Chain A
Amino acid sequence: MKWLLRAAVAAAIVGALWGLSYVLHEHVIEYVVRIAMLCGMNIILAVGLNLINGTTGQFSIGHAGFMAVGAYTTAYVCTQLAPEVAGVLGTGFLPDAVVFNVGLIAGAALAAATGVVVGVPSLRLKGDYLAIVTLGFGEIIRLLLTNAEFLGGATGFSGDNPTGLSPYTNVFWVFLWVVIVIVVIRNVTFSQTGRSLEAISEDEIAAEAMGTPTTRLKVVAFTLSAAAAGIAGGLFAHLQGSVRPDDFKFDRSIDMIVMIIVGGLGSITGAVIGGIFVGVTLELMRDLSEYRLVLYSLLLVIIMLVRPQGVLGKRELSFSRLFPKKAAKPARAAGDEKP
């Protein structure tokens, strides 16, 4: 019975996303829809990065590199695959869906594989050292792409069509992947593995003394986080129409860190809020022209002064918290965190 219920919930979510996608694309101006999709990608990036930077407490500052791997892989796989699939399935929604999702999964897989390659040697390091390694990795990826002729070098990769990569990315796919990423990361966070990750974040030596395989768990978290960044990269590639090495500069990694710090390190819902914050703030301040960047930085400073732990701190927003049931109250009150 349980799986039947779950299937029903999943179907309901897909249906709701389908409806949302239809309404947004048909009735709302493209500008708002575009920003919404960019916010969705930010959410995927932030929730993914939060698993390693927030929950596990290992500071990665090179996640733009994984996003780049995902973006280029998805773009490349889709351009290679599209004619083949079109030969079998023709054109329309189904072949596009197949091509795009195969591309996205390939992007996530390669990003994850890169995560393992980077993670295994570097996650034995602690603290600042890991940050430097990931920083270096992000730059290496970007420079490799800049010099990769078959991926377009500095010009970037946009397929053979002068109008760029096929615009597969729409609200439905973005937010379907948002839901998938959040569910997976949430399940990991609130599982035994998640508790061990938190233990590593609290005190790595103590965790190790208790028999927690710290390096292995860190690599697992890092890999999942890289896969999420890869998905976001693939979605980004087919929204933007091209991918360039310069789309994945160090600034992009910093943006991701801003998202999780603003939202609250270690909180999934916080990461969602942070992703949306970074996605909309600069666009909302368009009327200030050149001063918007000044104000944006000022806003970040103010947030850090007023709430150094981020908007949510380590807490999660949940429906049961917003609409508390009488019965659940005592248990929850006891579980409320102490600052």
Chain B
Amino acid sequence: MRRKTVVVAAAIVSLVASLAFTFGCKNGGGSQNGPGGSGGGNQTGEIVIGHYASMTGDTAHFGQDTDKAVRLAVEEVNAQGGIKGRRVKLVTLDTRGDATEAANAVTRLIDVEHVSAIIGEVASTLSLAGGRVAQRRGIPMVSPSSTNPAVTAIGNNVFRVCFIDPFQGTVMAKFARENLRLTKVAIIKDVRSDYSIGLAENFRRAFTQRGGQVVAEQSYSAGDTDFSAQLTAIRDSGAEAIFVPGYYGEVGAIAVTKQRLGINVPLLGGDGWDAPDLFRIGGAALEGSFYSNHFAPDAASDRARRFISAFQRRFGSEPTGLGALGYDAAMVLFEAMRRAQSVTPATIREGLTATRNFEGVTGRITINAQRDADKSAVVLRIRGGRAVYETTVQP
């Protein structure tokens, strides 16, 4: 018995020791050049960039789509000889869709992988957790598709290449009022998601400002499967459309329930709809619905078409809007590195700040004073089990 105890104790000691040896001390690897540059200090060899994403978990789809596109961007830039003659190396870490792990991953990217810059995350709450670490450590971070305004408010190291929630809510309100000429709209929002709440709030404001009326406002929690109570309430309100700023899983289920209850009005939504699974879950019930997105594959610019065909060749499937944004995030980052004199976190940050009219897959990107991207949004219509381009809405 006693021997066993000693074995256990030895196992623990060796585990702790192996941890210490694996990661070593502060002064082991990267150079310490004070605040604003604990990573990427050396000016030769590979340029390491980090990507943290939900490769597993509830939103694995988002992380995997984005990561494929980022990888494609890295492969392309390396095929063209890299940046300033240096190869770019991508390190992707999983967050499981968990905020604690997101902060762990960003800390690891900075301390262990010594990255010069970071790309991530899709979900705003995870970008907030990771962005706080990046800001404190002085490493620039570009979020491809976190649309919550609070993300870039963290500080001067956090950027994004997508539009923000207020804009997406406004786009759909404008579209519903001016293109569809609706006057009465109901809202079902996910109370567990900032994204959903943000979109709903801005939709309501913009829609009522333009003379429309929000006749019913219902809520659900992500993970719910039964929406008949909410939809029954909406059926009796006389709404001409239902704004559902949620994620694809629940949206699909809501569409199915709506059809079952015989409510014949279109659904409106945001980029949280953008996943192939939407059609698998919602099926024909989604026909005639609209959602705003960053990019429309069928009405693409030459730049976007090149990206789509490269993506299809590489991965055998069509990219989603999130993928396109991941690609743009990487390309904006590379552009900033090219512009910089030397590749250090500080110069990359300056380069990112100076991004003007960058011709991206998802449109022309200008980084504004709030480190958000000024760009237009597209509205897609669901027809024949596909999302097709309807119109473009300017900021």
**A contact set with B: CB distance below 8 Å:** 26-32, 34-35, 38, 143, 146-147, 153-156, 158, 162-164, 167, 236, 240-242, 244-247, 273, 276, 280, 282-284, 286, 289-290, 292-293, 311-312, 315, 317, 321-322, 324, 336
Identify which of A31, A236, A324 contacts B107 (C-beta below 8 A): A31
Identify which of B25, B55, B99 contacts A240 (C-beta below 8 A): B99
Q: With the chains together, A6 CA to B337 CA distance in Å?
A: 59
Identify which of A29, A155, A289 contacts B23 (C-beta below 8 A): A29
**B194 adjacent to A154 (CB under 8 Å):** yes
| A240-B103, A242-B128 given; A163·B25 CB < 8 A | no
User: Of all chain B residues, which has the CB nearest A272?
Assistant: B12
Give how many B residues have a beta carbon under 8 Å from the other chain's beta carbons.
51
> Taking the nearest CB of chain A, how far is it from the CB of B211, in angstroms?
28
**A146 adjacent to B104 (CB under 8 Å):** no
Q: 18 other contacts beyond A241-B129, A317-B5, with CB at 8 A cut-off?
A: A27-B27, A30-B137, A34-B103, A146-B191, A147-B191, A153-B191, A155-B148, A155-B194, A162-B153, A167-B136, A240-B103, A244-B125, A246-B125, A246-B192, A282-B101, A286-B108, A315-B5, A321-B5
Task: Specify which chain B residues have a CB less than 8 angstroms from the CB of A236 in the assembled complex.
Answer: 100
Task: Specify which chain A residues have a CB less than 8 angstroms from the CB of B101 in the assembled complex.
Answer: 282
Interface string of B161-186 (1 = CB under 8 A from A): 00000000000000000000000000
Task: Specify which chain B residues have a CB less than 8 angstroms from the CB of A30 in the assembled complex.
Answer: 107, 110-111, 137
Interface-located stretch among B90-98, B289-297, B324-332: B90-98
Interface string of B125-136 (1 = CB under 8 A from A): 100110010011
**B233 sits at the interface (CB 8 A):** no
> Taking the nearest CB of chain B, how far is it from the CB of A3, in angstroms?
32
**B99 adjacent to A154 (CB under 8 Å):** no
User: Of all chain A residues, which has the CB nearest B107?
Assistant: A31
Q: With the chains together, A143 CA to B223 CA distance in Å?
A: 13
Identify which of B2, B15, B27, B132 contacts A163 (C-beta below 8 A): B132
Q: With the chains together, A247 CA to B20 CA distance in Å?
A: 28
Identify which of B15, B110, B155 contacts A162 (C-beta below 8 A): B155
Identify which of B8, B100, B125, B221 contacts A143 (C-beta below 8 A): B221
> Taking the nearest CB of chain B, how far is it from the CB of A175, in angstroms?
14
Task: Specify which chain B residues have a CB less than 8 angstroms from the CB of A162 in the assembled complex.
Answer: 150, 153-155
A-B contact pairs, 28 of them (CB 8 A): A26-B26, A27-B27, A29-B24, A29-B25, A31-B108, A32-B20, A34-B107, A35-B19, A35-B104, A143-B221, A146-B191, A146-B221, A155-B125, A155-B148, A155-B150, A162-B153, A240-B99, A240-B100, A240-B129, A241-B103, A241-B129, A242-B129, A244-B99, A289-B55, A290-B56, A293-B56, A311-B8, A312-B8
> Taking the nearest CB of chain B, how far is it from the CB of A148, in angstroms?
11
> Taking the nearest CB of chain A, how far is it from the CB of B52, in angstroms?
11
**A247 adjacent to B155 (CB under 8 Å):** no
Q: With the chains together, A166 CA to B150 CA distance in Å?
A: 17
Q: With the chains together, A283 CA to B93 CA distance in Å?
A: 10
Task: Specify which chain B residues have a CB less than 8 angstroms from the CB of A26 in the assembled complex.
Answer: 26
**B112 sits at the interface (CB 8 A):** yes
| A154-B197, A283-B104 given; A163·B23 CB < 8 A | no
Identify which of A29, A34, A317 contacts B26 (C-beta below 8 A): A29
> Taking the nearest CB of chain B, how far is it from the CB of A48, in angstroms?
19
Task: Specify which chain B residues have a CB less than 8 angstroms from the CB of A245 in the assembled complex.
Answer: 192
> Taking the nearest CB of chain A, how far is it from the CB of B132, in angstroms?
5
> Taking the nearest CB of chain A, how far is it from the CB of B295, in angstroms?
26
Task: Specify which chain A residues have a CB less than 8 angstroms from the CB of B19 in the assembled complex.
Answer: 32, 35, 280, 284
> Quick one: which of B1-17 are within 8 Å of A by CB?
1-2, 5-6, 8-9, 12, 15
Task: Specify which chain A residues have a CB less than 8 angstroms from the CB of B104 in the assembled complex.
Answer: 31, 34-35, 38, 283
**A27 adjacent to B25 (CB under 8 Å):** yes
Q: With the chains together, A289 CA to B96 CA distance in Å?
A: 11
